[in-house]
Structure 1
Amino acid sequence: VVEVSAKHDWAERYRPNTLSGLEGNEDRIRRVRQWLDRWVSGSVPKKKGLLLSGPPGVGKTTLALAVAEDRGWTVIELNASEQRNASAIRGSATRGSQHISLDQFSSEGPPSGRTLILLDEVDHLSGGFARVSEERIERALEPTEDDSIVLRGDSGGKAELLNLLSSTRQPVIMTCNDPMRLWGSGSGWRRNRDRLLRLAENVIFQRVGRTGLRRVAHKVLDAEGMSIDPESLDALIEGNPGDIRALVKDLQSLSSTERGHITLTAVRDLSEVAVRDAHVDVFKAMRQVYGNRSGSQAGRILMNSDKDPDEMIAWFAWNNQSVMDQRGLAAVSPAMCRSDSSLATKYTNRAFRSWYWGAALPAQAAVAYSPSTGGSDAYIGYPNFLRRGSESWRTGQLVERLSELLESSRSSVREDLWPNLLAVHDRQLGGDPSDFSVAIRLGLSAEDHLSLHGMPKSHRDAKTIINAYEEVGGDQEKDKESEGSEGS
């Protein structure tokens, strides 16, 4: 079944199997080749892994498979469709990385064969970097009918990934689309990133340019005996965000409706149908808005973002601080305030019209004011108060406790109250850990107050804050008691 589907899938049929067939990202390909050449020469790199990150369809997995094919290396591949928990990675990748390739014992020339360990889409590994005990991993590797000792899902997969990178004797290549998803959305994401990048180089791939896309299109169409007008090809590439795989799939779709020649009408019809799939990630959308000078284009970019209006205003509020100077922040402030007010209409107006145009105001303001730090080249950061709000331990016990205290549903607390609480308490936005007013008013504990500020109990100031919180809370309780006794 796999062979039949691959045969009819043009993206697989025309996937290059050698480096010479790759398009775009020449500098990145050169870096990968140089890194692999060190393995061949016997000078094993200090970082024994490569993380190929970047948008989908730019050739990351294809590159890994092509370099192995060019060198005649064996490939051990684990992709997103397979279980990738600690025992699965240990049983296939980690153990396989400890042995030399059987090709080294062939009679043809000197021993130069390697085994390439390829882990595709590692950003789809769920869970954190917490280790699973060696006993559980070894027991899970043993054949058994006892489901209780089988590791579920991706349990311990990220921790075993670190173990693989630190102990491997073979080159390891990982691919991912969204590194932030790999690091995790909790407050420890920087630590997770640093732990992995101490063991692996990060090679960031870019979208393929129009010239490269045009060469790919002609190569595929020539092989299929089809033709296309220059203006039709330009229109097809115009709607493509630099994704080779998407381009080849579009050509296959067009081939099923056109007989030998692709017309401009067919391309336009396809673009109208496929526009729903053209959502861009929020980082790219923000850079496009900051680098734009057209209000209408900024509106379209915002509509195609993968975030809803509620989240977009948070992204603008956070990133305006680094993209704009004080004069610019003052200029866009009225629009930001108006936008925040209009977003509340989703609770009173089921047409949601103001919700959408309200979210467009920050984008229009950003277009009207020229950023001071590079526009489309600006660094886009993930809002800390949104990042912390996704941590499971917060959205569990604390959200449940708030819903009980406020007699509200957990979903309402999580979606509506929680982001605002985090924003108010965020230290980078002026939140003061010594201001206990909100937490005490809500009846939260000292540990809950620390959580709102993103501070673990192990933080050097945590003990001082807890003692002060309990002292203030105790004084307020005494005041209430005295007021009650006076009233009686």
Structure 2
Amino acid sequence: MEDWTEKYRPRTLRNIIGNERALSNLRAWAERWNQGKIPEKRAAILSGKPGTGKTSTAHALAADLGWTVLELNASDARNESSIKSVATAGAVNETFDITGGFTPSRLGGRKLIILDEADNLYEKLDKAEADSSMGDRGGKKAIIDTIRITKQPIILIVNDFYELTKGGGEPLKNLCNVIQFYNVNSNQIVELLKDICRQENITADIRALKTIVDRSKGDVRSAVNDLQSLCVNRTQLSIEDIDVLGYRDRETLVFDALREVFKTKNLQNSRDCMRNSDVEPELFLLWIAENIPREYLDAKDLVQGYEALSKADMFFGRVKKTRVYDLWSYACDLMSGGVTIAKTHSYGNTQYLFPTWLKQMKSNQTARLMRDGVNKKIATVHHVSNQKTKEVILPQFQVLFQNNPQFACKMIRSLDLSEGEVKFLLGEKHVHRMKDIIQCAEKTDEKQEEIKVTSHTKTKKEEEKKETTDLKQPSIFDF
């Protein structure tokens, strides 16, 4: 059976779904080349998660403009000599098109050089690989040199932009037009799957298609692959079919990645598996931290594993503080490869657990929302920051609220506290008094309203009496 991802791969930019801004940016860059001009940035970097349409976009662009494609991918040699012999030679020389005709580049006869998975280029390897002609030594330098002298458009396709630009790849930031691709909108993927089903004469329940899309997390390739696997020898697809087939949720990929990090002895495999797990690095760090003591039973391995993990956490903290995102890749290397090489021997099968911290955060979510609501109201009244209120004022406020009923009643009225916020302030120890305190506040409100009404009525009567008196007051004409 033909692979549906290839069969239904977009052939023109019009058929690419999602990432409209990225497509517009790429068109503008390519149009400069098509006019016979060489733009200031001679290469473009298409960066984004797998399945967002980066490779399809590059090929569709070439098809729309009639450019010949020269592509290097993961199966090609990536060392300096191989890149120079293929990419560099193609970048500076003219070429014939697929029909055998020749059009010089100044008249629009371009060829598009595509380097897929460019973030897999590394400058340093072990000695055995460095001596091999198939190693990646000098790959980034060769790409940078090629971009500087190219007479043809170049597109680099990456999943991890920071992996590409770290180390010797720093100049690529200024040499290339960086175009970010994001996960495709779910509704657009659903429409694509409906169109595929129509062409394949498959009757599909819309709920089944939406389930496939929801679990693909914006990955178009994954959604199409899953649809094809579910439709083998079928002309109808229902929501029950997905359940019966035991549809594989993406969360299982996390356990696969954990198993690879803990079990493998290959540093590169560990790094790649973590990057392909579709989990945010900081979240994956929590998974590793939770399961290290379950996997590494040897005390020395446990210490070394947590040492690598703590350094990764430090780098994540520095990224947040300095906004230097290059440090992110170091954190990822430490939390995957660092933990992998921390073990001195292999262990048996282990049952991995969901991070306890995440469970606690989920169970405390309502309490945190109530705390933030109260905190904001107090901060507004006191004209201080939310942070200072949370650290200094709120703890004392809560003590007063729990031990002084009159203060509690007054604050409920003044701050317009909700029932949930009152429950948070009282805490578990005093929550049994919540009903009485709220009733007290409501009664006080009613009394104040009565006082206001009485006062208003009294004032009105006094004004009427005054007017009557003024009318009865004799004038000069009465004499």
- Into which bin does the TM-score normalised by the smaller protein fall? 0.5 to 0.7
The corresponding residue for 1:360 is 356
Q: For residues 367-412 of structure 1, give each alpha carbon's deviation from its aligned partner in whole angstroms, at most 9, with x where no partner exists.
A: 756899xxxxxxxxxxxxxxxxxxxxxxxxxxxxxxxxxxxxxxxx
Task: Trace 1:235-384 onto structure 2 (pairs within 5 A).
Answer: 235-257=211-233, 259-270=234-245, 272-273=247-248, 275=250, 278-279=253-254, 281=275, 285-286=279-280, 319=316, 356=353, 359-361=355-357, 364-365=360-361
Q: 1:102 to 1:149 in 2, by over 3 A?
A: same
Name the SS of the counterpart of 1:52 in structure 2.
strand
Query: Displacement, 1:263?
Result: 1.2
Q: Which runs of 5+ in 1 are unaligned?
A: 1-6, 130-147, 290-299, 325-346, 373-488
TM-score normalised over the length of structure 1: 0.54
Does the aligned pair in 2 maintain the 1:101–1:115 contact within 8 Å?
A: yes
Q: 1:250 to 1:286 in 2, by over 3 A?
A: closer
Q: Please state if 1:117 is matched with 2:113.
A: yes
Does the aligned pair in 2 maintain the 1:302–1:363 contact within 8 Å?
A: no
In 2, Cα distance between the equivalents of 1:183 and 1:109? 29
Query: Displacement, 1:203?
Result: 1.1
Query: Displacement, 1:24?
Result: 0.6
Query: Displacement, 1:198?
Result: 1.8
Q: 1:356 to 1:306 in 2, by over 3 A?
A: closer
In 1, Cα distance between the equivalents of 2:356 and 2:309? 9
Q: Please state if 1:209 is matched with 2:185.
A: yes
Q: Please state if 1:67 is matched with 2:61.
A: yes
Q: Which runs of 5+ in 2 are unaligned?
A: 255-273, 294-305, 322-344, 373-479
The corresponding residue for 1:28 is 22
The corresponding residue for 1:453 is none
TM-score normalised over the length of structure 2: 0.55
Query: Displacement, 1:71?
Result: 1.0
In 2, Cα distance between the equivalents of 1:284 and 1:363? 20
Q: 1:124 to 1:270 in 2, by over 3 A?
A: farther
In 2, Cα distance between the equivalents of 1:57 and 1:320? 29
Residue type of the partner of 2:205? D
In 1, Cα distance between the equivalents of 2:113 and 2:14? 22
Query: Displacement, 1:181?
Result: 2.7
Name the SS of the counterpart of 1:44 in structure 2.
coil
Q: 198, 207, 214: which is aligned to 1:231?
A: 207
Name the SS of the counterpart of 2:40 in structure 1.
coil
RMSD, aligned α-carbons: 4.2
Name the SS of the counterpart of 1:102 in structure 2.
coil
Residue type of the partner of 2:95? S
The corresponding residue for 2:157 is 175
In 2, Cα distance between the equivalents of 1:149 and 1:278? 35
Residue type of the partner of 1:205? F
Query: Displacement, 1:166?
Result: 0.9
The corresponding residue for 2:123 is 127
Q: 1:74 to 1:201 in 2, by over 3 A?
A: same
In 1, Cα distance between the equivalents of 2:289 and 2:192? 27
Q: 1:208 to 1:307 in 2, by over 3 A?
A: farther
Moved more, 261-270 or 198-207: 261-270
Task: Trace 1:410-429 onto structure 2 (pairs within 5 A).
Answer: none
In 2, Cα distance between the equivalents of 1:34 and 1:287? 33
Query: Displacement, 1:126?
Result: 3.3
Bigger proportion of residues as helix: 2
Q: Please state if 1:54 is matched with 2:48.
A: yes
Does the aligned pair in 2 maintain the 1:84–1:157 contact within 8 Å?
A: yes
Q: For residues 242-283 of structure 1, give each alpha carbon's deviation from its aligned partner in whole angstroms, at most 9, with x where no partner exists.
A: 1111111111101115x2111112223445435466448599
Name the SS of the counterpart of 2:92 in structure 1.
coil
Query: Displacement, 1:356?
Result: 4.6
Q: Please state if 1:43 is matched with 2:37.
A: yes
Q: Please state if 1:17 is matched with 2:16.
A: no
Query: Displacement, 1:111?
Result: 2.6
In 1, Cα distance between the equivalents of 2:314 and 2:359? 11
Name the SS of the counterpart of 1:214 in structure 2.
helix
Residue type of the partner of 1:262? L
Residue type of the partner of 1:61? T
**How much identity, in percent, do the aligned residues show?**
29
Q: 1:124 to 1:110 in 2, by over 3 A?
A: closer
Rg (Cα) greater in structure: 2
Does the aligned pair in 1 maintain the 2:290–2:356 contact within 8 Å?
A: no
The corresponding residue for 1:165 is 147
Residue type of the partner of 2:2? H
The corresponding residue for 1:411 is none
Q: 1:37 to 1:306 in 2, by over 3 A?
A: farther
Name the SS of the counterpart of 1:97 in structure 2.
helix
Does the aligned pair in 2 maintain the 1:281–1:305 contact within 8 Å?
A: no
Does the aligned pair in 2 maintain the 1:22–1:63 contact within 8 Å?
A: yes
The corresponding residue for 1:140 is none
